[in-house]
């Protein structure tokens, strides 16, 4: 499955009040693995950015004055997202702005028409997903980072690409539970929200020595030992210590 984890920044809250996109950031994930392929673009919104919005994302009118207008980047952006599942935190906000931009562009130029997003992409709203998993709790991106122990200390202001990268980590953490193993390579378990919840087992024919074993480096071992120490401090014991085949403190990766 090809997924695009996406975020935007805007001049204000509501496109119906004339507000526009000023930044799009997106990262590509295929079969739950980040590919390194990304889309990032600042946009000249052709209007003033509200002071309240600047205080959130730090993007000023001067910063985007020389950037391309949406009409100049629309086709490349559409080619990047079309047909993918879009993973967005508070998706109605971002999709509303994107569809508004496409609508204005279509009205000016006609064909080829772009959008609406929901007619060409699946949309997964991680805010709705988080509210379902953690009812009654705070489910902002910052709150989810804290809950899933994801480092977002470098996030001082909102930024579309940075937030998309953080959201990718949050999404994987929220949906990482495996509920079914199947010996049928074509089988996957589907949860009620349509998300794959199982992994199929595919048998490989390997000769001795073909399977590569990647051992942790010293930095990874140090981080692992520190994690085990935190478990001991919190729980009074660590189950890895009782494993007969593992030296105390080493555990397994």
Q: Which residues are catalytically annotated?
A: 158
Q: Say if strands 2-10 and 21-30 run parallel, antiparallel, or are unpaired.
A: antiparallel
Q: Which CA distances in Å does 141 have to 7, 30, 51, 63, 166?
A: 11, 22, 22, 25, 8
Rg, C-alpha atoms of the chain: 22
Nearest CA among 157, 121, 159 for reference residue 41: 159
For 20, 78, 90, the CA distances from 101, given in Å and listed in that order, are: 7, 12, 18
From the number of C-beta atoms within 10 Å of its C-beta (0-12, 13-18, 19+), residue 45 rates as buried
């Amino acid at each position: 499955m090809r997924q695009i984890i996406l975020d935007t920044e805007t001049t204000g809250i509501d496109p119906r009040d004339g507000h526009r996109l000023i930044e799009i950031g997106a990262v590509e994930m295929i079969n739950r693995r980040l590919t390194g392929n990304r889309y990032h673009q600042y946009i000249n919104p052709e209007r003033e950015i509200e002071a309240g919005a600047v205080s959130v994302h730090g993007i000023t009118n001067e910063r985007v004055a020389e950037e391309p207008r949406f009409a100049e980047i629309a086709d490349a952006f559409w080619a990047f997202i079309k047909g993918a599942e879009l993973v967005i935190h508070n998706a109605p906000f971002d999709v509303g702005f994107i569809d508004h931009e496409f609508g204005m562009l279509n009205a000016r130029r006609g064909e080829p028409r772009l959008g609406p997003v929901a007619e060409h992409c699946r949309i997964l709203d991680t805010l709705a997903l988080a509210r379902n998993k953690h009812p009654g709790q705070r489910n902002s991106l910052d709150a989810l980072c804290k809950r899933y122990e994801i480092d977002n200390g470098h996030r001082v202001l909102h930024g579309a690409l940075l937030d998309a990268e953080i959201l990718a980590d949050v999404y994987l953490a929220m949906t990482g539970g495996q509920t079914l193993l199947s010996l049928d390579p074509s089988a996957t378990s589907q949860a009620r929200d349509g998300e794959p919840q199982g992994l199929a087992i595919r048998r490989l024919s390997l000769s001795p020595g073909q399977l590569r074993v990647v051992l942790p480096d010293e930095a990874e071992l140090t981080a692992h030992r520190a994690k085990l120490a935190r478990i001991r401090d919190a729980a009074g014991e660590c189950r890895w210590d009782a494993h007969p085949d593992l030296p105390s403190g080493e555990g397994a990766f």
